[in-house]
Structure 1
């Protein structure tokens, strides 16, 4: 990771201050206030419909918060409240299912070009843009970083779901972002592809790339993630070190079901207990 000279580690990566979001006629986020520091690997956990997707869209400027009466910005990324979307996405590498489908719909796009398209915040490489040798080398290096360099010339649409996901991560890495924002990254993956993805994320975290993982799968909280937030009904209901938050009580509250968390072969596992237990 190569932060710009103007960015200091003291500036939060993401800062929310009483951020409210309405979609349609429904308030989906209720006064969220939190700060995520640069270098602080963080997971946001919660059941389907709790507001996780709205949280991501708020950060990526697909949704906007209600204005505050005092005029203070409810959302700041790297100390700024106003961003051009393409510049923001260069700072926060986005990995989402929506992007995966958009790339798969591009006829003739190979994996290398899918990664190169990340330089232009586009789903294709614009015809009027010149691809420099440096861009090509950086794209190949990003593919190698996630163990996918051998896929470079293969059509993106013909890759397996796990391979596509690794290409998406490489695409996010070409701009040397401050962090990766991962939206349900293992959706649709089989057990082997899922573990390969989690291993790749662990390796990236150890390389110093900040991870913000948004998921409803507790098992995906890799050991490198030290902070966990639990969300329910558009509210943050728990926030703290993983050892404190990843406990039966807080998880059962967030998911509204009796859960038991344990480890097997060094990996987190979760069991849904009978309601009478």
Structure 2
């Protein structure tokens, strides 16, 4: 495959939506600007921050590649969509304000768009703590390439910040759902998977920061939204998946929520109800039986 750096480099727009992340935001912006890929722009959308975000962005005031947009606090989906509306690139990428990019991210991922059927290119992740020290963490899910809807409906295996998308995906399949406060990436990937192939590279191009202030730690709200997203997708595309796979998707949803609650709260009755509901959806789903055994033996 010919490296796209040897040809004209298409413009990549990088959207960073931020809220009260002044301690980490400059590092995120600098990591994007440090790319080997030269043709890029960074769009920082400040979703009504009350900290020193504006002050921390002043250092980029003379860099024409960086745009800083301040808005009232309207939530992350609206902030990300504002970034998408401002983006001028043929390709669009993302970086959360508390995370970082590897310098070679775009050089690694952009050549994988050579196939015009590929709409999303994503990669593997490495982890750091709140101080920037490396954290060892196992890969949570298998990754997939190609037509991925049947896999994606079970698990969201695409780490959001690693993804680069074609603008054509937005034009054809839409932007983030502003009615969803969480899980907006899974909703987006499900819709994109209907018309586009996904391409995975095992290289670690994204550095995810694990710290106490993350929204992703709110597991109950996360699952509330996941239920909404799955139901929405199945209603929008009722003939896309066989009934057996739909049943498995619901089984996994209930079992996953049950185990999340069991692990976080050390409770029994609510997780048991969820796991049994999952088994009613799909009695052949072996992770549900494994989860039931772990719960009964108090090994969660």
TM-score class, shorter-chain normalisation, is under 0.3
More strand by share: 1
TM-score, normalised to structure 2, is 0.23
**Highest CA radius of gyration, 1 or 2?**
2
Structure with a larger share of its residues in helix: 2
TM-score by length of 1: 0.24
Higher relative CO (CA 8 A, sep ≥ 6), structure 1 or 2?
Answer: 1
